[in-house]
């Protein structure tokens, strides 16, 4: 069985990853793609109040489960669009242990800080300052196969660019070289 392709979108909260992912699932026509979002996994968790230590442990387990769900879906041949925030080094390291690098197109989703703050405020469903906190963390690992700036291109334009790039992704991919 052939492993599925993984389009891995990494960026801060409110950078436009989910919007790009929805567009990709709509326009990609050479397979069946699934959008797996870390926010979707977080939303499945029970809503009872947790102490800081208990919440941190639950979030870590949630993200580890998310990474393994991506791997399991791809392993049986599903094509995946991943929407994630690699704001802690262990998240990337964990992904590198469970995902086949040759299957991953690694896409950096960028947006200037002032626009992120504006989007965050307009959304109203994010902790103020979350994107600013993540801003210097999510891209510190280095290279991508492709990068998009959602302040200068619409989600549809970013998705189209990714679609056109996908058949020509480099070998090895940037995901294989990330440290």
| Annotated binding residue 18 | yes
Q: What are phi and psi of 126, to 5 degrees?
A: -125, 150
3-state secondary structure of 153: coil
Beta pairing, strands 33-37 & 104-110? unpaired
H-assigned helices in 38-178: 38-43, 52-75, 89-98, 113-123, 130-135, 155-165, 174-177
pLDDT of residue 132: 86
Beta pairing, strands 6-10 & 33-37? unpaired
Q: What is the DSSP annotation of 86-120? A: --SHHHHHHHHHHS-GGGEEEEEEE--HHHHHHHH
Q: What averages of pLDDT result for each successive group of 10 residues across the chain (179 residues)?
A: 92 96 96 93 88 93 96 97 95 95 95 92 80 91 93 98 93 81
Residue 39: active-site member: yes
Q: Single out the catalytic residue among 26, 29, 30, 39.
A: 39
- Supply the pTM of this predicted model: 0.94
Q: How far apart are CA 136 and CA 149, in angstroms?
A: 15
H/E element, 146? strand 146-149
| Annotated binding residue 14 | yes
| Annotated binding residue 151 | no
pLDDT of residue 175: 86
**Nearest Cα to Cα of residue 102 among 76, 83, 74:** 74
Residue for token digits 């998705």? 159
Alpha-carbon distances of 139 from 14, 58, 69, 85, 164, rounded to whole Å: 15, 24, 23, 9, 23
Q: How far apart are CA 127 and CA 131, in angstroms?
A: 9
pLDDT of residue 130: 86
| Annotated binding residue 16 | yes
pLDDT of residue 66: 97
Q: With beta carbons less than 8 A apart as the criterion, state whether 80 and 104 touch.
A: no
What's the CATH code, domain 6-176? 3.40.50.300
pLDDT of residue 99: 96
Domain ranges for the chain, please list them: 6-176
């Amino acid at each position: 069985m052939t492993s599925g392709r993984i389009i891995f979108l990494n960026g801060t909260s409110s950078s436009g990853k989910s919007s790009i992912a929805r567009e990709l699932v709509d326009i990609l026509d050479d397979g069946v793609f699934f959008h797996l979002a870390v926010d979707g996994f977080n939303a499945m968790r029970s809503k009872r109040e947790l102490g800081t230590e208990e919440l941190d442990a639950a979030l870590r387990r949630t993200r580890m489960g998310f990474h393994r769900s991506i791997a399991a879906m791809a392993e049986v041949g599903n094509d995946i669009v991943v929407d994630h925030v690699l704001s802690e080094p262990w998240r990337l390291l964990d992904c590198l242990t469970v995902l086949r690098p040759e299957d991953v197109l690694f896409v950096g989703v960028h947006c200037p800080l002032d626009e992120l703050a504006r989007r965050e405020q307009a959304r109203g469903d994010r902790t103020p300052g979350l994107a600013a906190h993540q801003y210097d963390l999510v891209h510190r690992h280095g290279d991508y196969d492709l990068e998009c700036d959602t302040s200068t291109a619409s989600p549809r334009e970013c998705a189209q660019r990714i679609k056109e790039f996908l058949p020509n992704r480099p070998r090895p991919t940037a995901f294989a070289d990330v440290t």
